[in-house]
Amino acid sequence: MPNQLKIPKEVDISIIGGGMVGASLALLLSSYKCGWKIQIIDSQSFENLSISSTKKCFDVRSTALSQSSREIYQTLGIWEALSSNVTPISKVNISDKGCLGSVKLLAEEHNLPALGYVVENQSMGSALFEAINETDDIEIIDSAKIEQLIPVPGGMELFFSTRLQPDKTREINTKLLVVADGARSAARSLLGVGVTIKNYDQVAIVANILLSQDHNNIAYERFTDSGPLAMLPLNKIDDAHRSALVWTVSPVQAEKLLSLPKNEFLAELQSCFGFRLGKFIGVGLRNSFPVQLITSDEQVRSNLVLVGNAAHSLHPVAGQGFNLALRDIAVLADQLAKSALDNQTLGEYRVLESYLKHQKLDQKRTILLSDFLPTIFGSTALPAKVTRNIGLFALDMIPSLRTNFAKLGMGLQTRSLKLSSARLSNSMPSDTE
């Protein structure tokens, strides 16, 4: 359980945000054995996250992990713990409603066991925090509210209160502050870091769907007039076939769909998606969130880094956001470890700038892909329809185009991560492209 009583006044690295990005970064930093005191500070309570649930919850959100993300978690030694709860994607079917063109991406074409993996966030959280509990250099402060963040020579000062003692302000001095508290980052606002927002005027509805037949490990990305619709394969529960739905629609449509009884919602979904997965026979809790492209105007300052959705929150199409964030933090941890070997000061601006330069191309390509797909496929104009139909035919017919597209989706097109000799655990598989 997180320690609420003995909070150190000085640490090496503080991570604001204990979600999957923040927790993964803490484990990556710890794996280099540089002697850093690492801290996770979050507003939520993590009391139960370290305990594996004996019965998976039906109503949980899921994340699609790319091949590069699998490699990172293998390096950390937690993929084995995750593997029993992930569903491999052996095939991706991409189609445009009302058009003949479609693309089928197959794992076997790339000599890989899978194109990606779908994991429920609850399972991911349990695996990450069980691994954190086994370390002795990561501390968790949960139920915390950040009051102030003040730059000081050689670091940052954090002022916060906790749920147990809301009237008592605590202070921590950290050499490096990492902001990982999401797209609506409160820490980013306190630091005065601006953002650029592109509003797609869409809402993403997420839910788990019960199927009448096996999904056969196929993921579907279907572009419709209202927006992209994705169905991702999930593990069976009690012999029930399941897929995770991400359905992007207009705000007006979302309001209507969320208010419908379950059977009427499933009928609307069936009409939009078709019967490729058989009949939809059940739906879990329906959640929604606005779809926006949010990019931070700054990602690094001296003694400060923004990562994850706090740095760039993407359209959910193709599931690129978390995988890009994971590649970012893997490079960040590696750059920090290399700087420690060179006796450079933790949090030094030129080290953080070097990290950002390394990731700039990856970020640019991934953001452009996530922005381009819903833009071009969202147009109802005839020229746009013809162009994308030709594009889908070309992807399906030309192996080299299909391979490059698949590599980009798997995080293999831009990745060139080589871990430093500071790592004491097994090294990550090198890029073989």
Question: Residue 84's domain is classified under what CATH number?
Answer: 3.50.50.60
Rounded to whole angstroms, the Cα distance separating 194 from 296 reads 6
- Using alpha carbons, select from 297, 299, 318, 317 the residue that is nearest to residue 308: 299
Same domain, 329 and 352: yes
Low-confidence residues of the chain: pLDDT under 50: 1-5, 49-59, 393-396, 401-402, 412-422, 424-433
pLDDT single digits (tens) 151-185: 999 999 999 998 888 888 999 999 999 999 999 99
Contact yes or no for 274/196 (Cβ under 8 A) = no
Tokens at residue 66, please? 């790319």
CATH value at residue 263:
3.30.9.10
Number of domains in the chain: 2
Same domain, 305 and 275: no
User: What number of other Cβ atoms are within 10 A of residue 221's Cβ?
Assistant: 23
For residue 151, give every residue at least 6 positions away whose Cβ sits within 8 Å of its Cβ, in sequence order, or none. 157, 301, 302, 303, 304
pLDDT of 407: 54
Residue 193 lies in a domain: yes
Rounded to whole angstroms, the Cα distance separating 145 from 159 reads 9
Contact yes or no for 413/407 (Cβ under 8 A) = yes
Same domain, 137 and 236: no
Same domain, 27 and 153: yes
Rounded to whole angstroms, the Cα distance separating 118 from 203 reads 22
Residue 427 lies in a domain: no
Tokens at residue 165, please? 């003692």
Domain containing 331: what range?
Answer: 10-197+292-409
For residue 139, give every residue at least 6 positions away whose Cβ sits within 8 Å of its Cβ, in sequence order, or none. 2, 3, 8, 11, 37, 38, 39, 40
For residue 105, give every residue at least 6 positions away whose Cβ sits within 8 Å of its Cβ, in sequence order, or none. 91, 92, 94, 115, 402, 405, 406, 409
Same domain, 16 and 67: yes
Q: Is 134 helix (H, G, I), strand (E, B) or coil?
A: coil
Residue 303 lies in a domain: yes
Output the CA–CA distances (angstroms, integers) from residue 154 to 23, 132, 301, 396, in the order listed: 24, 27, 12, 54
pLDDT of 379: 52
Rounded to whole angstroms, the Cα distance separating 77 from 277 reads 34
Residue 430 lies in a domain: no
Read off φ and ψ for residue 197, nearest 5 degrees: -120, 130
pLDDT of 3: 39
Q: Can you list the positions of beta strands (E) in 121-263?
A: 138-141, 144-152, 155-162, 170-179, 195-211, 218-224, 227-237, 240-249
Same domain, 298 and 162: yes
Same domain, 75 and 180: yes
**Helices 321-341/20-31 angle, 10° precision:** 30
Strand-pair category, 102-106 with 116-120: unpaired
pLDDT of 107: 84
pLDDT of 383: 53
Residue 169 lies in a domain: yes
Rounded to whole angstroms, the Cα distance separating 119 from 122 reads 8
User: What number of other Cβ atoms are within 10 A of residue 281's Cβ?
Assistant: 14
Same domain, 190 and 262: no
pLDDT of 233: 97
Q: Is 379 helix (H, G, I), strand (E, B) or coil?
A: coil
